[in-house]
């Protein structure tokens, strides 16, 4: 995504005006009292706010013009729903609305398919969240959203998580002027820890000390996941013999593991 473009969706971003807080309040008051000619001036004066928000969605591979247009929809919704009676800056209210609009767009264009039931729960949850934000001007908790939907909290969390857009393992998350740190650098590999590697080496060393029948039985039991009865049928001995050989082999391996 290129953010150093001067023109985005036909808008010259280098010449965008910036409104002062007092000007915005006056324009909002006039808009809400029916002077809709003030709406265009207010939108133009807040397009830089949209630009600042879409920069958060860098490295998503999305077209910057598309994101800008979607962000403008969020801005217009913010204008329509902003409550002047609440002593809150417009940008404080608008930024979450713009982000929400962009996230909905990204979810709808996500290549990962989510079941219809999960998607329905997630969209209902987002609608409830937006309504609660409009009513209280603060972010609701998952518990509040779940209560409104009359659903268990876990169902709401699972549905919203299922619609989260994926990120690249190569997305940079920190840069101090030197090498960048990527998402993949922060992921722990629980399967390849040093302790696990040493333990696996010890097991292999212990297995090497066993007789062939002992190796075969332990492999079938603990690596192939078979029961003692299944092992007995496979190699042609009784289950009691399998149990006895297994216990002796494990006892012998403890000297090396």
**Model confidence pLDDT, tens digit, residues 61-86:** 677 888 888 989 998 998 888 888 87
- The HSE-up count of residue 109 (CA atoms within 13 Å, CB side) is 13
Which H or E run includes 114?
Answer: none
Residue 168 is predicted with a pLDDT of: 58
Helix spans in the chain (H): 21-32, 37-44, 47-54, 64-81, 90-108, 116-136, 142-149, 153-162, 194-208, 212-218, 228-235, 239-253
pLDDT, tens digit, 9 for 90 and up, residues 14-57:
677 778 888 888 888 888 888 878 888 888 888 888 888 888 87
**In tens digits, what is the pLDDT along the chain, a chain of 257 residues?**
444 555 665 666 667 777 888 888 888 888 888 887 888 888 888 888 888 888 887 666 677 888 888 989 998 998 888 888 877 888 888 888 888 888 888 777 765 555 677 778 888 888 898 888 888 888 888 899 999 999 888 888 878 776 665 555 556 655 555 555 555 555 555 555 555 555 666 677 778 888 888 889 888 888 888 888 888 888 888 888 888 888 888 888 777 66
Of 51, 83, 88, 46, the closest CA to residue 70 belongs to: 51
d(CA 90, CA 211): 77
CATH architecture of 194-253: Orthogonal Bundle (1.10)
Q: Are 144 and 156 in contact (CB under 8 A)?
A: no
d(CA 217, CA 224): 10
What is the residue extent of each domain of the chain?
A: 1-97, 194-253
Residue 31 is predicted with a pLDDT of: 86
Phi/psi of residue 137, nearest 5 degrees = 60, 30
């Amino acid at each position: 995504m290129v953010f150093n473009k001067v023109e985005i969706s036909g808008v010259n971003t280098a010449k965008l005006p910036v409104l002062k807080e007092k000007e915005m309040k006056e324009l909002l008051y006039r808009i809400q009292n029916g002077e809709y000619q003030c709406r265009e001036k207010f939108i133009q004066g807040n397009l830089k706010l949209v630009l600042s928000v879409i920069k958060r969605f860098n490295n998503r591979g999305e077209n910057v013009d598309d994101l800008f247009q979607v962000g403008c929809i969020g801005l217009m919704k913010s204008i329509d729903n902003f409550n002047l009676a609440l002593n809150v800056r417009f940008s404080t209210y608008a930024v979450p609305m713009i982000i929400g609009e962009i996230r909905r767009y990204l979810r709808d264009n996500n290549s990962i398919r989510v079941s219809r039931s999960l998607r329905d729960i997630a969209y209902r949850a987002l609608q409830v969240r937006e309504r609660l934000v409009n009513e209280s001007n603060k972010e609701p908790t998952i518990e509040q959203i779940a209560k409104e939907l009359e659903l268990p909290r876990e169902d709401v969390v699972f549905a919203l998580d299922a619609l989260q857009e994926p990120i690249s393992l190569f997305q940079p998350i920190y840069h101090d002027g030197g090498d960048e740190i990527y998402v993949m650098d922060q992921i722990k590999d629980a399967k390849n820890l040093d302790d696990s590697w040493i333990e696996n080496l010890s097991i292999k060393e212990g297995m090497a000390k066993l007789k062939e029948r002992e190796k075969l039985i332990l492999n079938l039991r603990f690596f192939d996941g078979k029961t003692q009865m299944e092992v007995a049928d496979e190699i042609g001995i009784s289950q009691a013999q399998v149990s006895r050989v297994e216990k002796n082999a494990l006892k012998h391996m403890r000297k090396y593991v």
